Structure 1
């Protein structure tokens, strides 16, 4: 009975969260589409992602999901870099836009078709990959990613490619390491356990504190793709185990 009450309460709290999430998303996205033509990229990113702070705040108020960050000082203050993070929830896609600023995200092309949310997301210079065109995806990542990095915009990549549920490691692709080497920028690994509190595609959320760990930048100078990729994966796997994700 206690578990049933908890489940009902979580459903109610999640419902309240989305009652705030969707209407404000529509309003803010509409405003973003109107004002974006007169803003440069930096200004546009700041304006469009203002709503992400509301998402994280509203999640804490409604569902009791907070966040604690360790290693924030490892994010480079100047210059571009490639940030790689595990992918287990919708949470990180919202949070990381408040954490890595500005940024260019590597995402699946279908997201840009979502009314309002996707339309606004498309204004942030994402690298929208068509997963049906596997041969061209890597070339697109390296071409567009290097262009963004040369503009001084960090690129955020989820090397697992898709959301991986808690309990599984998934496979980490080498795209992040390849992009970093091609542009001569460091890789910054980021790990979190949001999947415990907001599992992928789950309507309800479990109260708790999402732990976010940021690693020291991994240099690429004079190294091979395999060497950099190995360092990135070793760091991610180590911290996934520490957070009981696998």
Structure 2
């Protein structure tokens, strides 16, 4: 496992990262509300997510967190699809908006109530679900998801529902597979080990190379939800086991 050095230097590097992260987020979120709101969706998405490039670059400069992407050729160049991924860190919510452009993300409704960050996220036409209303959340996912996919916008879903520590698996919900089957679009599974270097709710970020691996699209036409879910999640679990192995974190 990567050496997680909780020294004064680690705290200093993280503090330096956030000294730029938070002021930049506040300033840019207000700018987005003023400038981006009237723009068409695709232009609005490009404008709002420009700051993500800064976040990732600053993370590398301050904390030494790098990235290695594998299987980029598996990401569809055009057309809608449902991307599913494991959820370990705040990192993937930042980087995925660079990887998949444009996109619609499925998130918890409470996030949109957050000052500044939530305001900007609300401009990206997310599918905001009330997790306390399971039946209503699934209905909203399918109806709003069909709308986004029908407009040719890929959807990003974290089927575990919440961030989990490295080594934890939780339950993978079938909403992504249900949406893909009902809309007859493929599922693209994406695995990573970001939680090794940026653990969820951790102040310190640990230097090293995040590995992100994109799987081949899983066809949904003519298949059941259970088949699509089993194939896509099975691939994710296999890759997570590999990426979290001690030798994988030495890249």
- Range into which the TM-score falls when normalised by the shorter chain: over 0.9
Q: Using a 3 Å threshold, how does the CA distance of structure 1 residues 5 and 122 change in structure 2: closer, same or farther?
A: closer
Q: Using a 3 Å threshold, how does the CA distance of structure 1 residues 4 and 243 change in structure 2: closer, same or farther?
A: closer
1:64 and 2:64 are equivalent in the alignment: yes
Contact 1:193/1:245 (8 A) holds in 2: no
Summarize deviations over 1:134-163 as a string: whole Å, max 9, x none: 221101100101100001100000011111
Contact 2:37/2:123 (8 A) holds in 1: no
Partner of 1:20 in structure 2? 20
CA distance in 2, matches of 1:172, 1:133: 18
1:103 and 2:103 are equivalent in the alignment: yes
Unaligned runs of 5+ in 2: 247-251
Partner of 1:77 in structure 2? 77
- Residues matched between the structures, number: 244
Q: TM-score, normalised by structure 2?
A: 0.94
Q: Classify the secondary structure of the residue corresponding to 2:219.
A: coil
Contact 2:165/2:199 (8 A) holds in 1: yes
Pairwise CA RMSD:
1.5
Partner of 1:33 in structure 2? 33
Partner of 2:54 in structure 1? 54
Post-superposition shift, 1:114?
1.0
1:203 and 2:206 are equivalent in the alignment: no
Summarize deviations over 1:85-108 as a string: whole Å, max 9, x none: 000101000010000110000000
CA distance in 2, matches of 1:86, 1:158: 6
Q: Using a 3 Å threshold, how does the CA distance of structure 1 residues 190 and 4 change in structure 2: closer, same or farther?
A: closer
Q: Classify the secondary structure of the residue corresponding to 1:138.
A: helix
Contact 1:168/1:245 (8 A) holds in 2: no
Q: Using a 3 Å threshold, how does the CA distance of structure 1 residues 207 and 79 change in structure 2: closer, same or farther?
A: same
Summarize deviations over 1:139-198 as a string: whole Å, max 9, x none: 110010110000110000001111111111111110000000111100000000000001
Partner of 1:132 in structure 2? 132
Q: Classify the secondary structure of the residue corresponding to 1:78.
A: coil
Q: Which moved more, 1:32-41 or 1:12-21?
A: 32-41
Partner of 2:219 in structure 1? 219
CA distance in 2, matches of 1:100, 1:176: 16
Contact 1:166/1:245 (8 A) holds in 2: no
Q: Classify the secondary structure of the residue corresponding to 1:222.
A: coil
Q: TM-score, normalised by structure 1?
A: 0.96
Q: Using a 3 Å threshold, how does the CA distance of structure 1 residues 95 and 6 change in structure 2: closer, same or farther?
A: same
Q: Which moved more, 1:144-153 or 1:130-139?
A: 130-139
Contact 1:146/1:183 (8 A) holds in 2: yes
